[in-house]
Structure 1
């Protein structure tokens, strides 16, 4: 604790002040961000229908659960494999054409998947190939999208902009299953996949006329570019530690809960799992909006302090709690994830030099999600050996350990905007007349 003196306390420096915030209306008033937001909103709404649409479509056609797992893995694994190279491309070339090309390929892949599944017969392998193409295109598009935001939003508005995007992600997760159910009742759940494909094509059209988001400097290719991105990531030591911890949380907490939860909740309340997923999405929406409006002196510390909520759902499920405590826990867990994503993404975008932003985001995402497919496979295998409850107890315990590990990082606890040695406060430059 600082010693008390007779002198008045000094005025806080800009880096000590809470991060400035902007109203959502102000952010949406910017023409460039408004177009970018609507493009993302359309594609996110389409993507929200995919898991439910694939499950219903394959079930109706008598496909095994293995096919559903294969379809989901076919879309996920290419993202993990190619995301870092997508980051190189996004830092090396203009981001807008990459985003548009990614949307067009994703749209074509989803339309082809819908056509194949509607046709039926022995064409599931073709649908698997379409989902693989979708995953590769997504790996190219995501880093460009992450790195593009500072090109259409002033640095002080990045928090509110990230909050709007994250909040819409939660809202889309609420609407997606409902929209799929309506389309299934009207005809064929594969229509939802066609809707996703059309949403990507519309998203690409909405990008027309926006700033190209050109590279901020010369970026090499291949391994040297990855090494440069890795060095930039290491200049944010708190992000490096968070990436490692995130990957283990997804492996040891998220995967067991997602895989084992439906069967256990079914014994508590039939149909309760769908309700829990909806409440998580609602919490994510609320947490995203709140974190984008509240100025925080230490945003990364605030993000970490919300993470213990992630351990509540597996803990309550292991204890055999009823549905309503689980519902509350899911809202709190969703809110913590919504706030976490907004606060961390905003900090990375503000503190990373523009020429390296897409690679830093891509490498961090690869590190975070690399073990999630493994978790999906290991959780049921281990549950068959020891039962699901020990895994859920372990998930809750690991959440607590993860938070303690992060709080032990002095760089994380002391982080304020503009204080990182390798960062550039307000790292992105706004292009065009959208100031």
Structure 2
């Protein structure tokens, strides 16, 4: 195949079908947080219920993701993705019915927990499937398209939910269910994405994936730093930000989320078209701007400056996802790819639920603004720790843009938060 451009990548039938499947599922999923928030508050329930429902979908994914990675490396990935999509669709359909009929939130909680379990199976399989769709030279453009659509879906999701909320926000969850069913149908007829060799199961396979992850010391450092940034920087901003923004600018928080999604779309598209000699170093340096939104919020800046900061932060995250994902897929043996991605994701997201819980507690002791100042400072410290790693500074992932650049060694790894 030729080197990757957006047009040539979309011209590959296998990727085009896989991309459409992921696109409709991501578009449906983008409505979930807003839909749940509106449905729960519309019933007069407490904010604690919303947090519990969101955590119910996240925690099973965190705890079971590694075993999903084992399954995806051991068996054909396409059936796992299809089954995951169908189960996710059923759980979201059941959630919609329960909320529409005023059912118990405990049943909704169970549906969301099952949804999280299913996602733990589907995510590693879809992550490991992309190299079965396109060759190494096209991975940068392919990841850019997927990352850009993630940002676009984040823009469309709240708008769709707002439109459906005029009738009932639970209808948005029915749309999410339909998107999963359609995504499963689009996978029919694609290559199965079977393993390149027979691997063991259970703890032995998990240990093998962990051993692969440890081959580059900077990779573990990046995973730890990502996890702490999410807990110390992202969680306080998400939990405490609305309380500071909304009194000054009604609807301002929704605007900031849209700005972030716009930046994510832009960063994904641009980074997918660049041939960068040090993709991991550039991705790490880009994390510096993640500290801008909490810094400006703590300083009392207006909505205009915060919007600009959110666009920059979204662009950094979009580029980070494309650069690091592409590096993983280019440099990790396919028989270990799903496990490596799953284990790294667990490490990155493990402390995020804890950050959601701790942020308001710590703010009660030290104050909201001092906590946000600390979050901004932590971002700079985190980037300094990454850049201080000589292995990270010197690592050449073989170019993650259009595919120009030398092939990377097969045992080199990278990580995505």
- 1:91 matched residue in structure 2: 73
Per-residue deviation, residues 376-420 of structure 1 (Å, max 9, x unmatched)? 000000001111111101110010001111001111111112445
- 2:50 matched residue in structure 1: 68
Alignment of 1:265-276 (within 5 A): 265-276=245-256
For 2:392 and 2:408, the matched residues in 1 are separated by 11
Structure 2 CA distance for partners of 1:419 and 1:35, relative to 1, 3 Å: closer
- 1:112 pairs with 2:94: yes
* 2:85–2:181 CA contact under 8 A, matched in 1: yes
For 1:21 and 1:48, the matched residues in 2 are separated by 31
8, 32, 35: which one pairs with 1:50? 32
51, 57, 63: which one pairs with 1:81? 63
Structure 2 CA distance for partners of 1:337 and 1:349, relative to 1, 3 Å: same
- 1:292 pairs with 2:281: no
- 1:141 pairs with 2:130: no
- 1:422 pairs with 2:404: no
Alignment of 1:127-276 (within 5 A): 127-185=108-166, 187-276=167-256
* 1:90–1:359 CA contact under 8 A, matched in 2: yes
* 1:21–1:295 CA contact under 8 A, matched in 2: no
For 2:56 and 2:29, the matched residues in 1 are separated by 15
- 2:375 matched residue in structure 1: 395
- 2:297 matched residue in structure 1: 317
- 2:84 matched residue in structure 1: 102
- 1:356 matched residue in structure 2: 336
* 2:61–2:117 CA contact under 8 A, matched in 1: yes
For 1:21 and 1:332, the matched residues in 2 are separated by 29
Gaps of 5+ in 1: 1-19, 426-435
For 1:237 and 1:360, the matched residues in 2 are separated by 14
Most deviating of 213-222 and 143-152: 213-222
- 1:125 matched residue in structure 2: 106
For 1:310 and 1:424, the matched residues in 2 are separated by 24
TM-superposed deviation, 1:239: 2.2
Alignment of 1:9-24 (within 5 A): 22-24=4-6
- 2:402 matched residue in structure 1: none
Aligned-partner SS, 1:306? helix
- 1:370 matched residue in structure 2: 350
For 2:5 and 2:305, the matched residues in 1 are separated by 34
Per-residue deviation, residues 292-316 of structure 1 (Å, max 9, x unmatched)? 0011111111111211110000000
TM-superposed deviation, 1:134: 0.3
Most deviating of 406-415 and 351-360: 406-415
370, 382, 390: which one pairs with 1:410? 390
TM-superposed deviation, 1:236: 3.2
Per-residue deviation, residues 207-264 of structure 1 (Å, max 9, x unmatched)? 0000000011111111111110011111233322111100000010000000000001
TM-score, normalising length: structure 2: 0.95
Higher Cα radius of gyration: 1
For 1:23 and 1:288, the matched residues in 2 are separated by 13
* 1:21–1:160 CA contact under 8 A, matched in 2: no
TM-superposed deviation, 1:268: 2.5
TM-superposed deviation, 1:423: 3.5
For 2:175 and 2:57, the matched residues in 1 are separated by 17
* 2:328–2:413 CA contact under 8 A, matched in 1: no
* 2:91–2:115 CA contact under 8 A, matched in 1: yes
TM-superposed deviation, 1:318: 0.7
- 1:16 matched residue in structure 2: none
Aligned-partner SS, 1:63? coil
Aligned residues: 404
For 2:186 and 2:220, the matched residues in 1 are separated by 34
TM-score, normalising length: structure 1: 0.91
For 1:264 and 1:191, the matched residues in 2 are separated by 30
